Chains A and B, each alone.
Chain A
Amino acid sequence: MSAPTEVEVGRAIGARVERKEDQKLLQGQAEWVDNMHVPGMVYLGIVRSPYAHARITKVDVTPALAHADVVGAWSGADIADEWQGSLPCAWLPTEDTNAPEHKPVAVDKARYAGDAVAVIAATSRGAAEDAAELVEVEYEPLPVVVDPEAALADGAPLVHEEFGTNRCYTWTLEEGEIDRLFAEADVTVSERYRQNRLIPNAIEPRAVFVTAIPANGEFTLWSTTQVPHIARVTLSGVTGIPEAKLRVIAPDVGGGFGSKLNVYAEEALALAVARMLGRPVKWTETRSEGYLSTIHGRDQVQEIELAATSEGKILAVRTKLTASMGAYLQLVTPGIPLLGAWLYAGCYDVQGYSFECTGVFTNTVPTDAYRGAGRPEATYAIERAVDALARKLGMDPVEIRRLNFIREFPAAIKAGLTIDSGDYDASLDVALEQAGYESVRAEQRARRTAGDPKRLGIGLSTYVEMCGLAPSNILGAIRYSGGGWEAATIRCLPTGTVQVLTGSTPHGQGHETSWSQIVSDRLGYEIDEVEVLHGDTAVVPLGMDTYGSRSLAVGGVALYYAADRIAEKGKKIAAHLMEVDEAQVDHVRGTFHGPETSITLKEVAFAAWTAHNLPDGVQPGLEETYVYDPPNFSWPAGAHVAIVEVDTETGAVELLRYIAVDDVGTIVNPIIVEGQIHGGLAQGVAQALYEEAIYDEDGNLLTGNMVSYLVPSAAEFPRWELHHTETPSPTNPMGVKGVGETGAIASPPAVMNAIVDALAEDGITDLDMPATPERVWRALEEARR
């Protein structure tokens, strides 16, 4: 890894600029929600159902109210009048989607272990928790269903009786003559995979803080959110606080991975309690409370079939998903599996495509976006199925991929979208060379011949994903309630510095650095002269926030265009000041060159501020906003290789090497890109080898804390070997694609394919994630039988 480079002003895109954010974070000066303290503040304590499914027959808060430090206590019924609407779900994929009412505090039924049943406000956090224990709740336990397939069976306990079924929706997509292609295929494979349920673990737990000016009916909500703008719109709907009276601030936010791309009960509760008491309110989850109240990810059963010729050419792919929604629909719960709907043929050219997804209610914590959201699932299924096809045909996994790659771009894929650009062979070439594919195969054979109980395996994942969410018209067509645009404002201040307002709200991604680089590159400011403002609806009114690897590919592009507008207006003023024709002026990175003289953008900004001498019709000030709606998704792709060692006596898997070759288009800051890939790989490998939220049949979360829910650390990983190929995206002028999720998308199948490869001669053809030592050992035991 090379050192950060000195940045030449105006040549900042692509430079290894150290993150501007880090000094503050490392020196403990970050502004976290939980650090906020104001006089008169009360703390919320939440009573949560210990039962996964139970009728609530009585809630008595009087013992809690008797606690000396308690200022309020409410059951779900007591507080019900505070709500004007349900907690929001912004994506009901079909007209007949069953969308249950979702109150911030349950009233007559708890539907998962962790569902809120009462809330306490107390003058200290300890008292809030003590008093929560005093609330007397009587439950009548009901039968529980946690498995999504079991939930669809006749007679399954109903999570929401009013629907008469646990089915939330079924969504389908079919292109091409699927039945014919399958009927005529030389070979087919039919695989069934399980997407283990995951618990997002942002380093900062969720926290909410509300201040109010009751006389004006004004509220400010500070939240550990990825989506302050979406939160403002939707929480206004939940609480009835007019949008104009609600300000939402996401100060420094310590990671989210999708778990903070949501609008939560506690945000609504804090607003409601602040309104009732006229006092500031704070709530901070503990880690184990978060496991019961913050969304989970994945949890799907995937059935995938491939139809192919005997040479290995894939003709068609047919997928059927059963996806657990959990007990309620959170912000985008039903849509998450559908974000992968177009990707189940991966980077392969097919003639027929069929996809069906059924969303199912279960007595579990709601699922929603988790790094990759839908695309890791799709990539996993196709990449494992392609390996299964190769095995069936006796082909090498490399060979079968090469045979099927999409090679002409832009590529209109059968599923119905258009891949902007790519070169899948190029990434695979680099990956194989870096891995030393042939020599790994040779060692693998040598170990087998020697009867070494430690087998070697090599696994590939050649992925493509769609991110940069998203063209608003497509979002509308798939029934998402919001848009996919992003806004950026550049405000050139009179004294030579510049403010950037971005609607894309960072929570660890380093926007302040990358955005400064873009402005430096386009307008000639020093990196340190750029101040990036974000995450406050009063400061940055327009925004669609951060998720789906959209920040750079949408928000960054908005900024790029805003810079063009600054240059355009600046040029008019510069020409006027130099007394030349506008057509004679050239703008190059912050300097306006006339035929004889030149003038800097900073001078222009000052002139625009004094407004003593502006051309006719030009308004004072130098500030421009651009709202960009992308015409297409962006399509990062690449080739990943995992090399594993499997101890056949204990079942232990060791990841020996991991090579990631990613094409994320133009790279603005390589340090940030590497960081994103490292983190994504860690989370993807975690899904493959370590993490799984396990419920028992009564709906108790057995992995309720970090002793049993196994988040790996650096000690579990090899040094990540990162390489890049680059095909700039033609969709946007910067050529950027997005990198936030690639690691998590690509890596699970690479690791699992490597394990299956290692154990192929032991008769193993499939393994579920996570491939824990016991699971591997059991598979081997079964195969030995």
Chain B
Amino acid sequence: MIPAPFDYEVAESVDNAIELLGTREETKVLAGGHSLLPLLRLRLTRPSLLVDVGRLDLSYVRDAGDSIAIGALTRHHDVATAPLLQEHNPLMSFAAGLIGDPQVRHRGTIGGSLAHGDPASDLPAVVLALDGEIDIAGPNGVRTVRAAEFFRGVFETAVGPQELVTEVRVPKLIGDHVWSYLKFRHRAQDWATVGVAAVARRSNGGVADAAIALVNMGATPLRAGAAEAAWIAGAADPGVEADAKTEPPSDTNGSADYRRHLARVLVRRAVEEAEAR
């Protein structure tokens, strides 16, 4: 539980961070440290250099017209309590409020949560369901990646070794939106055994633009396409095929079978809860 030796630098600016990340092999960004430090302490990762981005001016929640822009260093607690999000995208703030415990929420950042690429994390699925956008800064400037292209595998994302997530944008839920985030976990502080983010727009007595994303049902957060279609079609139980095309893990928190079952129950409940809003 003592990390292997590493060097440590504090980045002064985004450019400086990118420069430092390029100074050697095996460098890592340090944000809130709440995913990275446990890995360091268990010696599961052994970077040669940590680039602390904690002092960069990237903690904010701003109105960006059709969307809300969230700086990569915004803590989960601030996402959960930001009035702009509570007004325009309550799904996002509600889900952030369910992460870990208060200590975790005051340290962990949205950028770290996405860049870490853990399929058990809450915000990746939420940003996927919302079709959010992620800005990634690198040696050649900033590029924007859609959430659907961002998550590549377990702990794998579109972020390259010399790149930094700088901002996340989620749409304002304009019009009559319904949403739900259900996180099934054994203890209050745990990661989701399975989580479901559901959002749709009310239309003609039913819903349109339904999006359902699943937490911890595969290598990345996954859209539950069959369930989305069933929801739009007004199926009695839109959860029946919620686990289609998923590959859930088996671990001490639940077997793959159990996770499939949970996904089906939770999607049905999420849709019920969303529609009751």
Please provide the chain A residues from 532 to 589 with a CB less than 8 Å away from any CB of chain B in the complex: none
Q: Beyond A287-B1, A649-B265, A774-B254, is A713–B189 a contact (Cβ under 8 Å)?
A: yes
Name B166-201 residues within 8 Å CB distance of A: 184, 186-191, 193
Annotate B24-45 by CB proximity to A: 1 below 8 A, 0 otherwise.
0000000000000010011100
Known: A288-B42, A703-B252, A777-B258. A710 touches B5 (CB 8 A): no
A773 touching B186, Cβ below 8 Å: yes
Partner of B187, one of A133, A288, A690: A690
**Interchain CA distance A708-B101 in the complex, whole Å:** 16
Query: B193, A773: Cβ atoms under 8 Å?
Result: yes
B-side residues, CB < 8 A to A, are 1-2, 4-5, 38, 41-43, 101, 184, 186-191, 193, 251-255, 258, 261-262, 265-266
Given A289-B1, A702-B252, 19 other A-B residues pairs in contact with their CB atoms under 8 A: A126-B2, A126-B5, A130-B5, A133-B4, A288-B42, A650-B266, A652-B184, A690-B186, A707-B38, A708-B251, A708-B252, A708-B253, A713-B101, A715-B187, A716-B188, A772-B186, A773-B184, A774-B258, A777-B258
Bound-complex Cα distance A690 to B2 (A): 28
Is there an interface contact between B1 and A288, defined as CB atoms closer than 8 Å? yes
Q: How far is the CB of A370 from chain B (nearest CB, A)?
A: 20
B261: A residues at CB distance < 8 A: 777
A479–B26 alpha-carbon span in the complex (Å): 59
Chain A 94-132 per-residue mask, 1 if CB under 8 angstroms from chain B, else 0:
000000000000000000000000000000011001100
Bound CA span A708–B251, Å: 9
Contact between A774 and B187, CB atoms less than 8 A apart: no
What A residues does B1 contact at CB under 8 A?
A: 286-289
Q: How far is the CA of A649 from the CA of B261 in the complex (A)?
A: 9
The 3 closest A-B pairs by CB, nearest first: A286-B1, A715-B188, A774-B258
A319 to B118, CA, bound (A): 47
Cβ–Cβ < 8 Å partners of B101 in chain A: 713, 715
Q: How far is the CA of A708 from the CA of B43 in the complex (A)?
A: 18
A130 touches B265 (CB 8 A): no
A286 to B42, CA, bound (A): 10
Complex partner residue of B252 from A133, A286, A694, A716, CB under 8 angstroms: A694
Contact code string A666-704 (vs B, CB < 8 Å = 1, else 0) = 000000000000000000000000100010000000110
Listed A/B pairs (7) with beta-carbon separation below 8 Å: A129-B2, A133-B4, A133-B43, A650-B184, A712-B187, A713-B101, A773-B186
Name which residue of chain A comes closest to B266, CB basis: A650
Q: Which residue of B lies closest to A694 (CB)?
A: B252
Chain A: interface residue total (CB-CB under 8 A) = 29
Q: Mark A737-774, 1 if CB is under 8 A from B, else 0.
A: 00000000000000000000000000000000000111
- Nearest B residue to A778 via CB reads B258
Residue of A nearest to B43 (CB): A133
Residue contact B255 to A774, C-beta cutoff 8 Å: yes
Say whether chain B's binding surface is mostly helix, strand, loop, or mixed: loop
Q: Which of B43, B186, B254 has the most CB of A within 10 A?
A: B186
Cβ–Cβ < 8 Å partners of B42 in chain A: 288, 705
B-side contacts of A777, CB under 8 Å: 258, 261
Q: List, in ascending order, chain B residues with CB within 8 A of A707's CB.
A: 38, 191
Residues from chain B with a CB closer than 8 A to the CB of A703 are: 252
Select from chain A the residue with minimum beta-carbon distance to B254.
A774
CB distance from B3 to the nearest CB of A (A): 8
For the complex formed, measure the closest distance between the CB of B187 and the CB atoms of chain A, giving whole angstroms.
6
Shortest beta-carbon distance, A123 to chain B, in Å? 14
Given the complex, which residues of B lie within 8 Å of A133, measured CB to CB? Answer: 4, 43
Bound complex: CA of A712 vs CA of B4, how far in Å? 30
- Measured CB to CB, the nearest residue on chain B to A702 is B252
Q: In this complex, what residue of A is CB-closest to B261?
A: A777
User: Is B187 in contact with A710, judged by CB distance below 8 angstroms?
Assistant: yes
Q: Which residue of A lies closest to B258 (CB)?
A: A774
Q: How distant is the Cα of A286 from the Cα of B265 in the complex, in angstroms? A: 39
Output the least CB separation between A656 and chain B (Å). 16
Chain A min CB distance to B216 (Å):
13
List A residues 243-292 near B (Cβ within 8 Å): 286-289
B252: chain A residues within 8 A (beta carbon): 694, 702-703, 708
A712 CA to B254 CA, complexed, in Å: 17
Chain B residues with CB under 8 Å of A650's CB are: 184, 262, 265-266
- The residue in chain A whose Cβ has the minimal distance to the Cβ of B193 is A773
Q: Contacting A716 at CB < 8 Å: which of B38, B184, B187, B258? A: B187
B188 near A713 with CB under 8 A, answer yes
Q: Which A residues lie within 8 Å of B4 (CB)?
A: 130, 133
CB distance from B261 to the nearest CB of A (A): 7
The answer for the CA separation of A716 and B253 in the assembled complex, in Å, is 16
CB neighbours of A710 from chain B (8 A): 186-187, 190
B50 to chain A, nearest CB (A): 15
Min CB distance B32 to A, Å, is 17
**In the bound complex, what is the Cα–Cα distance between A676 and B38 (angstroms)?**
32
Shortest CB-to-CB span from A181 to chain B, Å, is 43
CB distance from A155 to the nearest CB of B (A): 29
A197 CB to closest chain B CB (Å) equals 13
Note all chain B residues with C-beta closer than 8 A to A289.
1
Within the assembled complex, what's the spacing in Å between the Cα atoms of A713 and B188? 8
Give the residue name and chain of the B residue nearest to A286 (CB): B1
Instruction: State A702–B251 Cα separation when bound (angstroms).
Output: 9
**Shortest Cβ gap from B97 to chain A (Å):** 14
> What is the CA–CA distance of A328 and B266 in the complex, to the nearest angstrom?
46
Bound Cα distance A130, B5 (Å): 8
* B187 and A713 within 8 A (CB): yes
Chain A residue numbers with a CB within 8 Å of B258 are: 773-774, 777-778
Chain B residues with Cβ below 8 Å from A287 are 1
How far does the alpha carbon of A129 sit from the alpha carbon of B40 in the complex, in Å?
13
